[in-house]
A and B are shown apart, each in its own frame.
Chain A
Amino acid sequence: DADVTQTPRNRITKTGKRIMLECSQTKGHDRMYWYRQDPGLGLRLIYYSFDVKDINKGEISDGYSVSRQAQAKFSLSLESAIPNQTALYFCATSDPTGSDSYNEQFFGPGTRLTVL
């Protein structure tokens, strides 16, 4: 979805390096999410944020940290990357004020991260 952008799209790094993945959205949504996708495991939630001052851990937050710089920006950091963090990372947004109760999430195009 062009309304949710992620940078970089691909990144190769080495074990122990610090890396930041960035997400920006123009949808005006308050809620933002970071997921990782691994083959055979689906998407797993890393962190989520309901607004700039509300950040919550997801299922697999160990080894990751996040920063919500503004309503439109949500960054994911790996303080010291390790090979098992090699995965496809997705940012998503949703609008809690919508009338539907299935909290439709809008995903960015993903960042493919390789940790050597």
Chain B
Amino acid sequence: QQQVKQSPQSLIVQKGGIPIINCAYENTAFDYFPWYQQFPGKGPALLIAIRPDVSEKKEGRFTISFNKSAKQFSLHIMDSQPGDSATYFCAAISGSARQLTFGSGTQLTVLP
């Protein structure tokens, strides 16, 4: 049973488009929501993270939108570039151990 559900599984956009990746969770014990970016042949790396008391967070071209009542959050990439082509994982953190629970991943392709 996946605690963090992520969609879509894959996404193709043209350069300059705004891909949106969505995640949903059930466990209200989750208290922090990071996104990780993974390039082929590499390990994931932290991209951006948000606390549930904030509705939006921007870092450069990357924005997280968070809807606590709906238990959903999403990643938007403004003015997407071919270099953004990667797999994106949403995640959620809970407990004193600060364990990460990952979504299933979205493979993003940005066409030139």
**Chain A interface (Cβ within 8 Å of chain B)?**
1, 4, 40-45, 48, 50, 56, 58, 90, 92, 94, 96, 100-110
Q: Number of residue pairs across A and B with beta carbons under 8 Å?
A: 64
> Does B109 belong to the interface (CB within 8 Å)?
no
Contact between B98 and A107 (Cβ–Cβ < 8 Å)? no
Q: Which residue of B6, B44, B99, B105 has the most chain A CB atoms within 10 A of its CB atom? A: B44
* Contact residue among B9, B43, B97, B104 (Cβ-Cβ distance under 8 Å from A107): B43
**Chain B interface (Cβ within 8 Å of chain A)?**
2, 6, 9, 31-32, 34, 41-46, 49, 51, 89, 93, 97-100, 102-105
Given contacts A102-B49, A104-B34, contact A42 B43 (CB under 8 A): no
Given contacts A42-B103, A104-B49, 12 further A-B contacts (CB under 8 A): A1-B43, A43-B102, A48-B99, A50-B97, A96-B98, A100-B49, A101-B31, A102-B49, A103-B32, A103-B100, A105-B46, A108-B43
